Chains A and B, each alone.
Chain A
Amino acid sequence: MLNFIARRVLATVPVLVIVAVLVFLLLRLTPGDPAAILAGDAASTDQIAQIRSSLGLDRPIPVQFGIWVGHLATGDLGESFYYKQSVTSLIGQRLEPTLSLALMTIVIAVLVSVPLGVIAAWRFGGWFDRALMGFSVMGFSIPVFVLAYILIWIVSVKLGWLPVQGYKRLADGFWPYLQHLILPSITLSVIFIALIARVTRASVLEALGEDYIRTARAKGLREAQVLIRHALANAAVPIVTVIGIGIALLIGGVVVTETVYAIPGLGRLTVDAVLARDFPTIQGVILFFSLVYVGVNLAVDLSYVFLDPRIRY
C-alpha cells in the first residue's frame, strides 16, 4: 500500500510541472515586455529594470523558468504592485474566508445531496426521482450570481433574516461569522448538490442491481440497512471522486460568490487583481488554486484504499 501511495504522489509531479510551465508561459507568450507587465502600469523604469534582473528576463527562456521555479520553491510568488506586499502573504490573509466558505459549502452539499440521491435511486423512475433529476438540470443551468441575488432579495432584503453582504472573521464571534456565511454557502452549494446527487443516484442505482443486494434483502435486512450499509457503501468511490472533481467548479463559484457577497477572500482577490492587471497576484492565485485542486484529488485517490477494501495494490 505504501508503494501505491508513493506511486500516486509521484504521478502528480508531472501534472504540477505542466501547471507551472503553463502559468509561466501565460506571461511570456503575451506580446509586450513581461517585466513591464509584472511591474504594473505605474512603475518607474528603475522598478522594471529591477524585476528584469531578479527574474533574469534577459536570459534564455529555460533559464528564466529555472529562476522562477527557484523562487516558487522558497514560497516566493513575487510582489504585488497593487497591494504593495508579497503575493504569498496576500494569499495567507485571504485564506480564512475562502476556506470557511468552501468547507461549509461542501458540508451542506454532501448532507443534502447524498440522501436525495439514495432516495431517488431507491424509488427509481418515481416522482421523487424525476423531480430530483429536473432540479439537477436546473441547478447546472442557473448562474451562481443570479441565484445569489435571488436569495439576497428574498432572505435579506424582503425578510430581513440575514445580513445582505460582508464577512465577519471567526475571531469576531461564532454567530456573526456563521450569519455571514449561510447565504453564500447555500448559493454555492446548489450546483454542487446537483452534481453529487446525480452521481450518487447513478452509482447507488448500479449497486442496487448487484447480487449482494439480493442476498442482503433475502437474509431479511431492513431496507434502510440495505441502502446504507450495502448500496451506499459500495457507491462511495464514485461519490468521493466527483466531490474531488467538483472542487474545480467550487473554485470558479467562489470567485463569483465572493464578489456578489463582498467577501474578502481569494476569489475577490482574483477579480480585483484582474481588474488592476496585477499579474504577480493573478499568477500566484492561479498556482495556489491549482495546487489545492491537485492536492484534493490526490487525497481522493488515496482515500479509495479506505473506502473500498476490494482495491488491492
Chain B
Amino acid sequence: MDPNAQSVEAANVASHESAWRRVRRNWSVRLGGVVLALLVLVAVAAPLLGTVDPTLFDAASRDLVPGKTGEITTLDGDYIKHKFLFGSDSFGRDIYSRVMYGTRVSLMVGLLAALLSLAFGIVCGLSAGYLRWLDGILMRFMDGLMAIPAILIAIALVALWRGSLVTVVVAIAIPEIPRVTRLVRSLVLSIREEPYVEAAVALGTPTWKIMFGHILPNTIAPLVVQGTYICASAILVEAILSFLGVGLPPDIPTWGNIMAEGRRQFIEFPHNIFIPGVFLAVTVLAVNILGDGLRDTLDPKMAKRV
C-alpha cells in the first residue's frame, strides 16, 4: 500500500548495520559495555556469589571490619558461620551481600527510569513537533517543569507518595521528561521537512502512521544516547535519595541505603561508605563512558557540539 515506507525501511536497515559495526569497534562502548555486563551478571547471580540474605542480621556480629568471620542468624533461628568480606553494619548485616544485592536495585532503577522518561518524552515530543496546535502550550509546560531543579521534584514526589521502587522510578523519571521532549521535538521539526515525509503526506498516510512509522525510527540513535545519560543520572539520584533517607525503605539493600546507615559511624568504619560508593561510582562511570561511545558513533552531530 505504501511503497515509500518500504524503501525507507530498507535504507534504515542498511545504515543500522554499518552503525552497529561502528559501535562495536568503539573502545568506549567496549569498556563501558564490559563493565556493565559484569554488573548485570552480579545483579542476576547475586544469590550464587557467596552471599547470605541481605536482610539477615546478628547482634553478635555488629560493626565487623572487612574480612572478619562472625556468625549470622538465619530465618529459622540457626546460626551459620560467615566471612564478612566487606565487614558488617551496626545491625550486624553482611555488607558484601547488601552491596551485591544493591546492584539489582541500581540497575533496575536506572533502566526503568530511562525507559519511562523516554516513553513519555517521545509521545510528548512527537505531539509537540507534529501537532502544531499543541506545541505552544506543551512546550511552555515543559519549560516550567525544567525550571524546578530535578532533585527537588524527585524529593518532593517521593515524600508525598512514600518510597517504593515504583514511586522512586516515577519521581526520578518525571524531571527528565522535558529534556527528552525537547530533543524529540527538535528532531521531528527537522525530519518532517525531509522529502520522504512529504511523499508520505502526499500519499495520504494517516498522521499517526507518519509519526510512528516514518519519523520515530529516525530519532532512535540520538534517543539511545540520551537514554544512556538518563540511566546514569537516575542511578545517581536514586542513591542520593536513599542516602538522604527519602528514597527506598532502609531495609531494602541499595547502595544509597548502605551508605546512609554508615553515616553515623563514618570516622570509625569508613568502609561502610567507601565500598558501596566505589560500586556506585564505577557503575555510573561505565554507563557514562558507554554513552560517550554511543554518542561518538551514533550521533556525530552531537559529538561535535560537546
- List residues of A whose CB falls within 8 A of some B CB: 14-19, 21-23, 26-27, 30, 137-138, 140-146, 149-150, 152-153, 157, 164, 198-199, 202, 248, 251-252, 255-256, 259, 270-271, 274-275, 277, 279, 282, 285-286, 289-290, 293-294
Chain A residues, Cβ within 8 Å of B278? 146
Chain B residues, Cβ within 8 Å of A157? 267
CB of B199 closer than 8 Å to a CB of A:
no
Q: What separation, in Å, do the CA atoms of A138 and B133 have in the docked complex?
A: 43
| Candidates B152, B232, B270, B281; contact of A270 at CB < 8 Å | B152
Q: Chain B: interface secondary structure?
A: helix
With A18-B143, A271-B244 as contacts: A252 and B274 at CB distance below 8 Å? no
| Candidates B151, B158, B160, B288; contact of A255 at CB < 8 Å | B151
User: Which residue on B lies nearest to A277, using beta carbons?
Assistant: B159
Q: Tell me how many residues of B have a C-beta within 8 Å of chain A.
A: 44
Chain A residues, Cβ within 8 Å of B232? 140-141
CB of B246 closer than 8 Å to a CB of A:
yes
Chain B residues, Cβ within 8 Å of A150? 274, 277
* 8 A-B pairs with least C-beta separation: A18-B144, A146-B277, A252-B151, A141-B285, A141-B284, A251-B149, A274-B159, A248-B149
Q: Do residues B149 and A252 form an inter-chain contact, with CB atoms below 8 A?
A: yes
Q: Whole-angstrom distance from the CB of B36 to the nearest CB of chain A?
A: 13
Q: Whole-angstrom distance from the CB of A78 to the nearest CB of chain B?
A: 15
| Candidates A18, A256, A277; contact of B244 at CB < 8 Å | A256
Q: What separation, in Å, do the CA atoms of A285 and B236 have in the docked complex?
A: 22
Q: A143-B239, A289-B149 are in contact. List 16 more A-B contacts (CB 8 A).
A: A14-B140, A15-B144, A18-B144, A19-B148, A27-B160, A140-B284, A143-B236, A145-B240, A146-B277, A146-B280, A199-B306, A252-B152, A255-B151, A274-B159, A275-B245, A289-B152
- List residues of B whose CB falls within 8 A of some A CB: 140-141, 143-145, 147-153, 155-161, 232, 236, 239-240, 243-246, 259, 266-267, 270, 273-274, 277-278, 280-281, 284-285, 288-289, 292, 305-306
| Candidates B151, B239, B270, B280; contact of A153 at CB < 8 Å | B270
Q: Whole-angstrom distance from the CB of B240 to the nearest CB of chain A?
A: 6
Chain B residues, Cβ within 8 Å of A26? 156-157, 160
